Structure 1
Amino acid sequence: MAANNNIPHSYGLLLFPGFEVLDAAGPIEVLNILSKYFSHSEMSLSVIAKTVDTTVTPGPIAPDENSKQFTGQQLYQPTHSFETAPKDLDVLIIPGGRGVNRTDEELKPLLDFLRHCYHGTDGRQSLQYIFSICTGSTLLARAGILDGHKATTNKKAWNRVTPLGPRTHWVAKARWVESNGRVWTASGVTAGIDGMAALVGRVYGEETADRVCEFIEHVRVKEAGDDPFAEVNGCRDVLPVE
């Protein structure tokens, strides 16, 4: 497939307490290789969280009594808050993880940020692509972004996530789903690598996507429907409610 002439430059990675590390790191490594070895040094990345005043951890935070857990000892430093994030983001990457299960009140600033980025409101440029991994689709569903779209999610969380998007066609047998060109949702964890490789293929050409995967020694899944985990977990498509 030929490359897309509308090349994105400004990428954002959304982090929140309790995010899944590989959901974020997998797609970012694909972009790391693309930027370093394939003459795309103009790419920029903003690591975005509610605040830059504290680090973000995928596990419990000190002085939580569980903060001695392995995941609680990992600290990630955001570069921008929701307020200071670039107004001209082209691509926003949203990982999943246990942190997506917070209440609507707790997640309101994050969900509002997603809506503004996607729709181009509050002085923002609308995104070219929004890309969720695993249960990150929970956040897109709760923000209303998946209404009228096809999407997928982690098959282990299928029965918990799909009711949150009643106006979404949830596709079970899918490594990733592209809907309307702009909305990309990848299945569980490692599927984010294949989904991002597919997006790279769409934007920069399939040969480039293949070479990026060769660099990271990843056996790329090229067909979106090549997904054994729906059957393993007994998942079936969930159609939107009219």
Structure 2
Amino acid sequence: MADERHRVAVLVRDGLLPMELGIVHRLFGQARDTAGRPLYEVLTCTLVPGPVRTDADFPVLVKHGPEVLDTADTVIVPASDLDYEPAPPPPGLAEALARIRPGTRIASICTGSFVLAAAGLLDGRPATTHWKCAARFRELYPEVDLDPDVLYTDADGVLTSAGEAAGIDLCLHMIRTDHGAAVANEVARGTVVPPHRDGGQAQYLRRPVPEPVVSSTARARAWALDNLHRPVTLRELAAREATSTRTFTRRFRDEMGTSPGQWLTRQRIERACTLLEESDLSVDDVAERAGFGTAGSMRLHLQAELGVSPTAYRRTFRCRAAQPSR
């Protein structure tokens, strides 16, 4: 009887990140039907069979060449450390991608999205990549609808994911799409990862507002940071610099690139995140100390800025040493 398993081909390149290759093999390799039979066949291929350099201190020996792509049902392109530097694609990559059959599902992990974009596979589609590379991706591929805040995208069989760990989310999504939540959840349990993560990449970014070299609003900002727990008015801020509210607002925007109100909200979010990560305070107490007043107000701001609730943020980032004993 012919092998009816869904064939997943992982196309690796020089500079492979080994974790990303392991993610694909581990997750798809664990998927089983009710009789315990494997649902996927995962094969690794490269442009020229043989040892492939990784970003670690060991190579990966790949015995399959690009001919595997001819029969693949899903093709996954992991990242390479070469993606972080402007470089032309390796010889033979375009020809290898051309071997993929029409209708084959194609996915990338992390900066593997650069390969898909260079091949024109992402034109006019939503896509994502690692947030550190988002600006350069936009410069190179303005025709792609890039969303650097999400963990993964799925647009008519062309999928992309953000950083390495987001490759887990992407693979679970594909398994869930193919075989349902029960199979995907069992794979997640076997890997000891959540079957679905809340929010997107935004919650993993720290985006403090840079300090200007020369500032005429520094005293007001320092005072505001000491008083985040209470309402802070524009008039109070201007008074710290002995100026009118109009002049203060103009100077503040020139120096900080944002309005005083927007800056205050950003600082309150930063304070709330720190308290959620490092303290045992209740959500209500965190909201009060960060100056949001109520847990409901803080929840709205974190959801808008980070895409997660305070509880979900704490569950992801809270320092284990800070958790109370049970």
Q: TM-score normalised by the shorter chain: which range applies?
A: 0.7 to 0.9
What does residue 58 of structure 1 align with? 54
Give the superposition deviation at 1:113: 1.5
2:167 aligned partner: 192
Residues paired across the two proteins, number:
204
Query: What's the Cα RMSD here?
Result: 2.4
SS of 1:203 mapped into structure 2: helix
Asked whether the 8 Å contact 2:31–2:39 carries over to 1, the reply is no
Alpha-carbon separation, structure 2, partners of 1:153 and 1:199: 17
1:116 equivalent in alignment to 2:99: yes
What is the letter of the counterpart of residue 18 of structure 1? G
In structure 2, the CA distance between the partners of 1:231 and 1:170, relative to structure 1 (3 Å rule), is same
Higher relative contact order (CA 8 A, sep 6+): 1
In structure 1, how many angstroms separate the alpha carbons of the residues matched to 2:203 and 2:80?
Answer: 18
Alignment map for 1:54-93 (pairs within 5 Å): 54-59=50-55, 71=56, 73-82=57-66, 84-93=67-76
Q: Which runs of 4+ in 1 moved over 6 A?
A: none
> Quick check: 126-135 or 225-234, which moved more?
225-234
Q: Is the 8 A contact 2:45 2:64 kept in 1?
A: yes
More helix by share: 2
Question: Alpha carbons of 1:111 and 1:162: their partners in 2 closer, same or farther (altered >3 Å)?
Answer: farther
Task: Determine if the alignment matches structure 1 residue 25 to structure 2 residue 22.
Answer: yes
Q: Taking structure 1 as reference, are residues 22 and 200 closer, same or farther at Cα in structure 2, changes over 3 Å only? A: same
In 1, the alpha carbon distance for the partners of 2:95 and 2:34 equals: 36
Match of 1:146 in 2: 122
Residue 12 of structure 1: aligned partner: 9
Residue in structure 2 matching 1:156, options 99, 121, 132: 132
Counterpart residue number, 1:228: 202
Tell me if the contact between 1:150 and 1:177 (Cα under 8 Å) persists in the aligned partners. Answer: yes
Distance 1:193 1:78 in 2: 22
- CA separation of 1:36/1:29 partners in 2, compared to 1, >3 Å: closer, same or farther? farther
* Alpha-carbon shift at residue 50 of structure 1 (Å): 1.3
| Structure 2 counterpart of 1:85, one-letter code | V
Residue 49 of structure 2 corresponds to residue 49 of structure 1: no
Given the two structures, how large is their TM-score scaled by the length of structure 2? 0.57
How far the C-alpha of 1:172 sits from its partner, in A, is: 2.1
Cα deviation, residue 198, structure 1: 0.9
Larger radius of gyration: 2
Q: 1:230 to 1:115 in 2, by over 3 A?
A: farther
C-alpha separation between the residues in 1 aligned to 2:69 and 2:62? 13
One-letter code aligned to 1:134? C
Could you tell me which runs of 5 or more consecutive residues in structure 2 were left unpaired when the two chains were aligned.
209-326
Match of 2:113 among 128, 137, 161: 137
Alignment partner, residue 209 of structure 1 = 184
Q: Structure 2 CA distance, aligned partners of 1:219 and 1:158?
A: 26
Give the deviation of 1:108 after TM superposition. 3.8
Contact 1:137–1:153, Cα closer than 8 Å, also in 2: yes
Percent identity (aligned)? 21
